[in-house]
């Protein structure tokens, strides 16, 4: 499943080069895990290069958390191998593996102070008292919580607890930092702030991190690479822009935000693109498919441009207009089914419900999906 | 309608008053009687005296029984709580038929007629030649184990499983995770389990009835034999009051250390 | 690794429970199937005589019937008094409810021999009841209150009553008040709300209270002996007497008759009340 997507061979090659420069800190090879009759993780193989953030993104029950717990060693795989910094750790218990983790519930020890919580991992590694105190100080400085070192977790706000959990995890300088929905319990504003902070901290320290989330915006903001998972299988791996702009199938396209799907039949092949006949019009899309094949095309709503009926494009009628502040959402009906368009700077009176329009987009904004119908 | 309602609440109030009186009066009577100056208990008491307490501690058999009961309760509560804690930690995160079976096994002595356990153990001990004190100690461990097991199980199941995983993720092996993370957090459960096991052992009759021997007798059994063979004398009231006083102190300790809510939930 | 740790936790308590709980009971059952012996603990021959003797002998049957009768009366009284008390306690505000339950719990921690002695000193010929009645000139000669079946019933009932009250009160207190409100909103009178909603929802508490009271009645040897005297023997007294007479197979068989009664009653209560049906309805 880690094979590159249809068009971005280029991107995959650059990835390969990067992987050579920086050896993989985490590697999963053909990992499988089932719980009773349910396959939680099915033949997953990934490589996570040093110093990058890798996100596992998917709906609940897709196997992303199980994958993370397989790296940690809280679960043992039924098949496959797990490597951390090149060492095979598949059958090694968690406490011998070189990682640390930020838990969804933070799991701060309630009977220990902030400083004692942060010192815990250093204590386990038998770091001398003086070095330990210095390490704790530095880590708390990084998350700007030195002033609260002697408080107990229950005396802190959610955001502060989150930072302590982060400090506790980075102070041991792990080969890989695992984060299990670490921002899930925070409110939206704080979450966005922490995303930026987490990213800058990770880059400053050069940490390798695996990040589990069900929030696609979070994955796109934070990650160097994202793996979209469903039913225990990785549907697509790539850089955020790549999986957003060039989703391989309808699931990836719709999980990462809204998408318009247009069905049609290939009528002609050109140099690097194909021409697709749809109920409303003919569309040229980058891709390589045989003539006569039925295909599904995806176009992001923000790439859809609306023009007056004299322009070229897919004919549609405005069914509804929803004003959302920075953008306006247009709900359209077309011969290819309902469409959605986002427009910035749309002024009141530009368009009204019932208007006939033509929808168009740049040729490279459209993507041909795998598996014609889902 | 209104009449029915108030009749109902009057009935409940009356029943409650009578019930509490019936439950508490026999215990109060014993305490009051223990301070009698007379040879026989008179109500209301004509005065106040500690002579029966002096007599209680003066009787070698009573004193020995009291000391033995305390030693027995200390030892059996400690062993029972350690073992109950181990069992609870094992079962806290396990489900399924075997886990359910084990849980019933560890809780069984709570409802099992302990008199029969006493008979069965005496028979076993006679067959294998078990000395009196260790035999009694093991019996009280069996009887006390469910208390530690139950309170620790409740505490352990209420614990966020991520806390133990966090310990392991930071490099603590299972034993260090147990001592540095789990035990400090379930400590109130362990402590209240221990106190219950102590109290139960201290007042236990049904196995001790069979398993005590000449010179190795617990206070409740000594009181029982005294009542049966010497008759109801006020030294028994003093012995009983000592029993009651110790329990009052222990309950106060539990209340101070772990709070009233844990006591009322533990049974 | 994980399983080694598991065994480290499980092995000590499991070994204790098996060796000193399960094994002695199996051994006791084995002995109950043997003839008695004057020189050994039990004879060599396998036999069912011990059981057939108990079931055929009218003396034993009388005692079994008396045991069940006493247990039934105690149980009935505990339910009759315990339910309204539990209801009262359950309706108290949290803090006062806990205090009430603590007050009920405390007597359970005091040894039964002490509580039985309390009743002895109330009921004996020179006891508090007789002397008070005499002071009030209601009686001339002391009444023989002690060493009667009624003394056993009253003492044992009050000793065990807290179990019933606490079991039911905890269930009632955990009940979601909205069930009752829903019933009343549907037009049920307070009485019908109680009969059709509250009472059925409190069956788990009733069941556990009933089982505790019944099982503890069966093995309350000390209370029965101190208050019943030699004339009011129950099944446990016979077990004790057989042990002191070194009739091990007989004692073992009587013990299993008692266990069978306990088991049958437990099955009956669970079948009748089916507490599992509404278990956890309050949460």
Res A185 pLDDT > 90: no
CA distance, residue B264 to nearest chain C CA (Å): 6
CB neighbours of residue C194 within 10 Å: 17
Residues B213-236, mean pLDDT to the nearest whole number: 88
Comparing A144-153, B228-237, C215-224, the range with the smallest average pLDDT is B228-237
Closest CA to C211 of C252, C178, C244, C163: C163
Which residues in chain B (5-34) have CB-CB distances under 8 A to chain C?
Answer: 5, 8, 11-13, 15-16, 18-20, 22-30, 33
Task: Decide which of C178 and B161 is more confident.
Answer: B161
Residues 6+ apart with CB under 8 A from B237: B30, B31, B33, B34, B36, B41, B52, C117, C121
Q: Which among B163, B166, B169 is the nearest to A99, CB-wise?
A: B169
Instruction: Give the pLDDT mean for A344-361.
Output: 85
Q: Whole-angstrom Cα distance, residue A167 to residue B30?
A: 61
Residue B227 lies in a domain: yes
B residues 190-219 closer than 8 Å to C (CB): 199-200, 202-206, 209-210, 219
CB–CB of B267 and C105 under 8 A? Answer: yes
Q: Can you tell me the mean pLDDT for A111-123?
A: 94
Residue matched to tokens 């949290």: C94
Name the DSSP class of A318. E
Give the whole-angstrom CA distance, residue B118 versus residue C24: 9
Cβ-in-10-Å burial (0-12, 13-18, 19+) of C135 comes to exposed
Averaged pLDDT for residues A90-116: 93
| CATH code at position B167 | 1.10.3720.10
The total of structural domains in chain B comes to 1
B177 falls within a domain? yes
What is the model's pLDDT at position B91? 94
What is the structure's pLDDT at C178? Answer: 83
Can you name the residues that pair with B216 across neighbouring β-strands?
A: B213
Give the number of residues written for chain C.
Answer: 283
Contacts of C104 in chain B (CB under 8 A): 23
Chains that touch B (3 or more CB pairs under 8 A): A, C
Q: Which of B165, B174, B176 sits opposite A124 (nearest CB)?
A: B176
Q: Tokens in use for A134?
A: 């210095």
Provide mean pLDDT across the span B249-254.
86
Confidence of residue C252 (pLDDT cuts 50, 70, 90): very high
**Residue A12: what pLDDT?**
37
Pairing state of beta strands A209-213 and A233-238?
A: unpaired
Structure confidence by residue, pLDDT tens digits, A275-334: 888 887 888 888 888 888 889 999 999 999 888 877 778 889 999 999 888 899 999 999
Q: Which of A71, A92, A111, A135 is most worth mutating to test chain B (most B CB atoms within 10 A of its CB)? A: A111
Predicted pLDDT of residue A5: 37
Closest CA to A329 of A313, A314, A340: A340
Residues 6+ apart with CB under 8 A from B119: B210, C28, C239, C243, C251, C252, C255
Under DSSP, is residue C154 helix (H, G, I), strand (E, B) or coil?
helix
User: Is any Cβ of chain C less than 8 angstroms from the Cβ of B72?
Assistant: no
| Sole residue written with tokens 């062993």 | B79
Is it the case that residue A8 has pLDDT exceeding 70? no
Q: Which of B15, B119, B200 sits opposite C28 (nearest CB)?
A: B119
* Proportion of chain B above pLDDT 70, given as a percent: 94
At C83-122, the pLDDT tens digits run: 999 999 998 888 888 889 888 999 999 999 999 999 998 9
CB B170 within 8 A of CB A172: yes
User: Does A224 have pLDDT greater than 90?
Assistant: yes
Beta-carbon separation of B170 and A109 below 8 A: no
Cα A12 from Cα B43, distance rounded (Å): 98
Strands A24-35 and A79-84: antiparallel
Question: Taking phi first (over 0 means left), then psi (-120 to 50 degrees means alpha), and beta for anything else, what does residue C104 get?
Answer: alpha
How confident is residue B230, by pLDDT bands cut at 50, 70 and 90?
Answer: confident
Contacts of A72 in chain B (CB under 8 A): 165, 169
| Token output for B115 | 């008199």
Q: Tell me what the mean pLDDT of segment A345-372 comes to.
A: 83
Contact criterion met (CB < 8 Å) for C107 and B23: yes
Residue B6: inside a domain, yes or no? no
Q: Does C161 contact B19 at a Cβ distance shorter than 8 Å?
A: yes
**Among the listed residues B58, B73, B68, the one whose alpha carbon sits nearest the alpha carbon of residue B238:** B58
Q: Write down the residue that tokens 């040729």 correspond to.
A: A363
Mean pLDDT over each residue of chain C, to the nearest integer? 89
Is B200 inside any structural domain?
yes
CB atoms within 10 A of CB A301: 18
Mean of the per-residue pLDDT values of chain A = 87
A73: left (phi over 0), alpha (psi -120 to 50) or beta: left
Q: What is the mean pLDDT of residues A11-35?
A: 67
Give the nearest partner residue to B185 out of A99, A100, A111, using CB atoms.
A111
- pLDDT digit string (tens) for B88-110? 999 998 988 999 999 999 999 98
The stretch A343-369 carries a mean pLDDT of: 86
Decide if B172 touches A, using CB distance below 8 A.
Answer: yes
Cβ proximity of A53 and A45 under 8 Å: no
Q: Which residues pair with A230 in a beta bridge?
A: A233
Helix (H) or strand (E) holding A296: strand A294-299
Asked if residue B15 belongs to a domain, the reply is: no
Q: What is the pLDDT of residue C111?
A: 92
Of the candidates A161, A163, A128, A117, which has an alpha carbon nearest to the alpha carbon of residue A142?
A: A163
Tokens of C92: 């108290």
Residue whose tokens read 């504003």: A189
Percent with pLDDT over 70 in chain A: 93
Domain that holds residue B81: 59-266
Q: Which of A338-347, B185-194, C71-80 has the lowest mean pLDDT?
A: A338-347
Percent of chain C's residues with pLDDT above 70 = 97
Is C2's pLDDT higher than 80? no
Average pLDDT over residues A220-233: 93
Question: What confidence category does residue A11 fall into, taking pLDDT thresholds of 50, 70 and 90?
Answer: very low
Copy the structure tokens of residue B124.
């076993």
Distance CA B248, CA B223 (A): 19
Domains observed in chain C: 46-278 (1.10.3720.10)
The pLDDT of residue A6 is 39
Residue A361 contacts residue A352 (beta carbons within 8 Å): no
Q: What band does C132 get if pLDDT is binned at 50, 70 and 90?
A: confident
Residue B22 forms part of a structural domain: no
Q: What percent of chain A has pLDDT over 90?
A: 60
**In sequence order, what are the beta bridge partners of C34?**
C46
Distance CA A61, CA C237 (A): 61
> Is A84:A25 a contact under the CB 8 Å cutoff?
yes
Show residues of chain B in contact with A104, CB under 8 Å: 162
Distance CA C58, CA A74 (A): 65
In the numeric block, the tokens 């540095």 are attached to B180
Whether residue B50 is contained in a domain is answered as no
User: In this complex, do A103 and B181 lie within 8 Å of one another by their Cβ atoms?
Assistant: no
Residue of B nearest to C108 (CA): B200
- Residue from B106, B102, B88 nearest B145 by CA: B106
Q: Which of C93, C160, C154, C83 is nearest to B15 (CA)?
A: C83
Neighbouring chains of C at 3+ CB pairs under 8 Å are B
A248, two tokens: 């391989």
| Integer Cα distance of B96 and B158 in angstroms | 19
* CB atoms near residue C2 (< 10 Å): 9
- CA B19/CA B192 separation, integer angstroms: 27
Residue B68 at interface with chain A, using a CB cutoff of 8 Å: no
Instruction: For residue range C199-214, list pLDDT tens digits in order.
Output: 888 999 999 999 999 9
pLDDT confidence tier of residue B222, bands split at 50, 70 and 90: very high
Helical spans, DSSP H, in chain C: 2-17, 23-32, 49-56, 58-90, 94-109, 112-123, 128-135, 149-174, 177-185, 190-193, 199-201, 203-218, 221-228, 235-244, 248-273
- Residue at B119 is within a domain: yes
Average pLDDT over residues B24-29: 92
pTM of the model: 0.85
Predicted local distance difference test score (pLDDT) of residue C99? 87
């Amino acid at each position: 499943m880690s094979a590159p997507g249809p068009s971005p061979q280029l991107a995959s090659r650059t990835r390969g080069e990067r992987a050579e420069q920086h050896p993989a800190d985490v590697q999963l090879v053909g990992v499988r895990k089932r719980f009773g009759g349910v396959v939680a993780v099915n033949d997953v193989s990934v490589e996570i290069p040093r110093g990058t953030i890798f996100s596992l993104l998917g709906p609940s029950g897709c196997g992303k958390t199980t994958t993370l717990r397989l790296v940690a060693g809280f679960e043992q795989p039924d098949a496959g191998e797990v490597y951390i910094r090149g060492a095979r750790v598949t059958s090694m218990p968690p406490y011998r593996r070189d990682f640390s983790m930020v838990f969804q519930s933070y799991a701060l020890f309630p009977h220990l102070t902030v400083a004692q919580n942060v010192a815990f991992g250093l204590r386990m590694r038998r770091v001398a008292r003086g070095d330990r105190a210095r390490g704790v100080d530095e880590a708390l400085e990084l998350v700007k919580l030195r002033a609260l070192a002697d408080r107990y977790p229950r005396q802190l706000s959610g955001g502060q607890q989150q930072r302590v959990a982060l400090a506790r995890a980075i102070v041991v300088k792990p080969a890989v930092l695992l984060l299990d929905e670490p921002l899930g319990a925070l409110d939206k504003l704080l979450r966005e702030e922490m995303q930026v902070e987490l990213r800058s901290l990770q880059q400053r320290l050069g940490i390798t991190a695996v990040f589990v989330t069900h929030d696609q915006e979070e994955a796109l903001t934070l990650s160097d690479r994202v793996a979209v998972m469903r039913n225990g299988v990785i549907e697509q791996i790539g850089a955020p822009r790549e999986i957003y702009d060039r989703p391989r199938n309808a699931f990836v396209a719709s999980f990462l935000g809204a998408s318009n799907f247009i069905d049609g039949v290939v009528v002609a092949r050109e140099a690097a693109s194909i021409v697709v006949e749809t109920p409303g019009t003919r569309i040229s899309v980058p891709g390589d498919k045989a003539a006569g094949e039925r295909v599904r095309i995806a176009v992001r709503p923000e790439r859809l441009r609306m023009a007056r009926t004299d322009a070229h494009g897919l004919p549609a009628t405005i069914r509804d207009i929803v004003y959302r502040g920075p953008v306006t959402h247009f709900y359209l009906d077309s011969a290819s089914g309902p469409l959605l368009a986002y427009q910035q700077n749309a002024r009141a009176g530009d368009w009204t419900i019932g208007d006939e329009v033509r929808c168009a987009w740049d040729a490279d904004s459209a993507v041909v999906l795998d598996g014609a119908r889902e | 309608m209104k009449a029915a309602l108030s009749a109902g609440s009057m009935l409940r109030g009356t029943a409650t008053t009578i019930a509490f009186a019936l439950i508490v009066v026999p215990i109060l009577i014993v305490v009051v009687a223990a301070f009698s100056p007379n040879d026989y208990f008179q109500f209301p008491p004509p005065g106040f005296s500690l002579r029966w307490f002096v007599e209680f501690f003066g009787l070698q058999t009573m004193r020995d029984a009291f000391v033995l009961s305390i030693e027995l309760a200390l030892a059996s509560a400690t062993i029972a709580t350690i073992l109950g804690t181990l069992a609870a930690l094992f079962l806290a995160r396990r489900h399924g038929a075997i886990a359910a079976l084990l849980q019933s096994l560890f809780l069984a002595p709570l409802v099992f007629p302990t008199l029969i356990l006493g008979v069965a153990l005496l028979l076993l001990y006679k067959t294998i030649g078990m000395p009196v004190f260790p035999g009694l100690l093991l019996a009280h461990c069996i009887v006390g184990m469910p208390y530690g097991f139950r309170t620790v199980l409740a505490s352990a199941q209420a614990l966020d499983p991520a806390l133990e995983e966090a310990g392991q993720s930071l490099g603590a092996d299972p034993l260090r995770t147990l001592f540095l993370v789990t035990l400090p957090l379930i400590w109130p459960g362990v402590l209240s389990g221990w106190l219950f096991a102590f109290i139960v052992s201290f007042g236990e009759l049904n196995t001790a009835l069979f398993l005590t021997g000449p010179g190795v007798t617990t206070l409740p059994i000594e009181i029982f034999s005294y009542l049966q063979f010497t008759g109801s004398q006020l030294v028994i009231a003093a012995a009983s009051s000592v029993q009651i006083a110790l329990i009052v102190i222990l309950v106060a300790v539990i209340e101070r250390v772990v709070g009233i809510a844990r006591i009322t939930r533990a049974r | 690794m994980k399983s080694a740790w598991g065994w480290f936790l499980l092995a000590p308590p499991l070994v204790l429970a098996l060796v000193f709980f399960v094994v002695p009971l199996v051994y006791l059952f084995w002995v109950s199937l043997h003839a008695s012996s004057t020189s050994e603990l039990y004879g060599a021959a396998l036999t069912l005589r011990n059981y057939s003797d108990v079931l055929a002998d009218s003396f034993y049957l009388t005692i079994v019937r008396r045991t069940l009768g006493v247990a039934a009366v105690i149980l009935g009284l505990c339910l009759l008094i315990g339910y309204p008390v539990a209801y009262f306690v359950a309706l108290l505000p949290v803090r006062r409810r806990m205090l009430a339950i603590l007050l009920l719990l405390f007597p359970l921690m005091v040894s039964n021999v002490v509580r039985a002695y309390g009743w002895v000193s109330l009921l004996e010929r020179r006891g508090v009841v007789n002397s008070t009645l005499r002071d009030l000139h209601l009686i001339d000669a002391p009444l023989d209150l002690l060493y009667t079946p009624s003394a056993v019933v009253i003492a044992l009932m009050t000793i065990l009553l807290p179990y019933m009250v606490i079991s039911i009160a905890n269930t009632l207190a955990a009940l979601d008040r909205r069930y009752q409100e829903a019933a009343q909103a549907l037009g049920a009178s307070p009485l019908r709300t109680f009969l059709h909603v509250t009472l059925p929802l409190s069956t788990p508490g009733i069941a556990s209270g009933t089982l505790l009271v019944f099982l503890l009645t069966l093995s309350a040897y000390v209370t029965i002996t101190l208050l019943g005297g030699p004339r009011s023997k129950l099944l446990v007294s016979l077990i004790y007497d057989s042990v002191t007479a070194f009739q091990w197979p007989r004692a073992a068989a009587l013990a299993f008759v008692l266990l069978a009664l306990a088991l049958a009653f437990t099955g009956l209560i669970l079948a009748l009340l089916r507490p599992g049906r509404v278990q956890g309805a309050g949460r």
